[in-house]
Copies of this chain bind each other. A is one copy, B any other.
Amino acid sequence: MAVIVPFGGPPSASIDQLVGLVAADMERVNATILSRTGSDVTMIPEVANHLISSGGKRLRPMLTLAMANLTGYTGDGHIKLAAAVEFMHTATLLHDDVVDESEMRRGKKSARMLWGNEASVLVGDFLLGQAFRMMVEVGSLRALDILSAASATIAEGEVMQLAAAKNTATTEDEYLAVIRGKTAELFAAACEVGPAIAERPKAQQSACRSFGMNIGIAFQLIDDVLDYGGKAAKLGKNVGDDFREGKITLPVVLAFRRGNDTEREFWVRALEKGDITDADLDQAIGLMTKHRALEDTIQRAHHYGAMAVDALALFPSSPMKTALEQVVAFCLARSH
C-alpha cells in the first residue's frame, strides 16, 4: 500500500522525541497510576494492572504532559491530570470489551475473559471514580469541567455506535460523529487540560484541543484500516475483529457506498449475520481493495493529521512542538 507521509517522512514518524521530553514527568505519572490502583480489594489492582501494564503507549497522558509543557505550565497538577486521563481511557477499554464481547486486547486475553464481565464493569467504575478524585485534588474547576464533559461525551459516542451498529447505510458524517465522541474527545480533553491548568488564553486552549481532536480522529481511522490487515498482528490486534462484530467503520462505509447492488447485499448479509467465515473476510478485503476504501481512509486520516499540525501553528518553534508534529506522523505511519 503506497502511502504519502508528509512532515519529513518515516525518520521523524516517531514518538521517541516526545517520550524523551516527558520522561521525567511520565515517571511520576506511572508512580501515581500504580498507587491509585491500590485497594484492599485485591481483585481491583489485579484487573487494573493487567490492562494498565499491558504495554499501551500511554499516548493520552503523554499528550497532557506535553501540552502543559508547551504552554508553560510550572505547577504539579499535570501529573495527576495525566494519570486521570489514563484511568478514564482504561475504564473505557474495560467497558468496551464487555460491550463488544472482545476476547483479546493488546495481544493478551481481555480482562473480561480472565475475571468476567462483572469485574470489568466494576473495576472500570472504580477507575473512573479514582480519576475524578485525582482531578478534584488538582482543584482546577476548568480541568474538571473539560474532563467530566469528555466523560459524558465518550459514553454518548459509544451509545451512538451501538445504535449505528450493523447499519450499512451509515454516512461518513455519521461515522465521524461516532468517533469524535468515542475516541477523539478524550484526546481533545487530554490536550486541552494542559493549557487550562496553565491558565493560558482561550485561543491556546482551543488550539491544543483542536490538535487532540484531530489526532484522535486520525488515530481511529488508522485503527479502522489496521483491522483489515497491515501491521495489525504486530500491534496485538486480530485482523477482522471489527468485521466479525458487524462494526461499521470508514473502510466499510466507503466500500458499501462505492459498491454495486450485489456487493451491497454482501455487506448487509455479512455484517448482520454474525457468523463470519475466512472467505467472507477475504471478500470484504477484496472489495475494499477494489474500491480503494483502505487507501482513501488513510488519505482521510492524513487530512485530520494535517489539521492537527496546523492547530499548533500559533505556537513558536520548540523541541516539544516538533515532537508533537512527529506524533502525528507516527499515528499515520502505523498503517504501513
A residues near B (Cβ < 8 Å) are 39, 41-44, 95, 98-99, 117-119, 121-123, 125-126, 128-130, 132-133, 135-137, 139, 141, 144-145, 148-156, 158-160, 162-163
Partner pick for A136 among B39, B133, B144, B159, CB 8 A cutoff: B144
Query: Which residues from chain B contact A135 at a C-beta distance below 8 Å?
Result: 148
Asked if residues B156 and A145 are in contact (CB atoms below 8 Å), the reply is no
Nearest CB on B from A32, distance (A): 15
> A155 touching B122 by the CB < 8 A rule?
yes
- Whether A152 pairs with B126 at a CB distance below 8 angstroms is yes
A149 to B130, CA, bound (A): 7
Interface centre among A150, A158, A159 (most CB of B within 10 A): A159
Majority secondary structure, A binding face: helix
Instruction: Give bound CA distance, A128 to B130, whole Å.
Output: 13
Contact check, A123 vs B159: say whether CB atoms are below 8 A apart.
Answer: yes
7 pairs from A and B in contact (CB 8 Å cutoff): A122-B158, A125-B155, A129-B148, A129-B150, A129-B151, A132-B152, A136-B141
Cβ–Cβ contact B99 & A117, under 8 A: yes
- Report if A159-B117 is in contact (Cβ < 8 Å); known contacts: A141-B139, A145-B133, A152-B133: no
In the complex, what residues of B have CB within 8 A of residue A125's CB? 95, 128, 151, 154-155, 158
Determine the chain B residues whose CB is within 8 A of the CB of A119 once the complex forms: 159, 162
Q: Are A43 and B163 in contact (CB under 8 A)?
A: yes
Q: In the docked arrangement, what's the CA distance between A95 and B126, Å?
A: 12
- 4 nearest A-B pairs in the assembled complex, by CB-CB distance: A129-B152, A129-B151, A132-B148, A126-B155
Q: Are A162 and B118 in contact (CB under 8 A)?
A: yes
Given known contacts A151-B129, A153-B129, A121 and B95 CB-to-CB distance under 8 angstroms: yes
CA distance A126 to B149 in the complex (A): 10
Whether B118 contacts A156 by the Cβ 8 Å rule is no
In chain B, what residue has the closest Cβ to A118?
B99
- Which residues of chain B are within 8 angstroms of A42 by Cβ–Cβ distance? 163
Given contact pairs A117-B117, A126-B155, A129-B150, enumerate 12 new A-B contacts (beta carbons under 8 Å): A39-B156, A41-B160, A98-B118, A99-B118, A99-B121, A121-B121, A125-B128, A126-B159, A129-B154, A132-B148, A132-B152, A144-B144
Query: How distant is the Cα of A160 from the Cα of B117 in the complex, in angstroms?
Result: 15
The docked-state distance in angstroms from the alpha carbon of A152 to that of B135 is 13
Chain B contacts for A98, CB-based, 8 A: 98, 117-118, 121
Measured in the bound complex, the distance between the Cα atoms of B139 and A289 in whole Å is 53
CB-contact partner of A148 in B43, B133, B149, B156, under 8 A:
B133
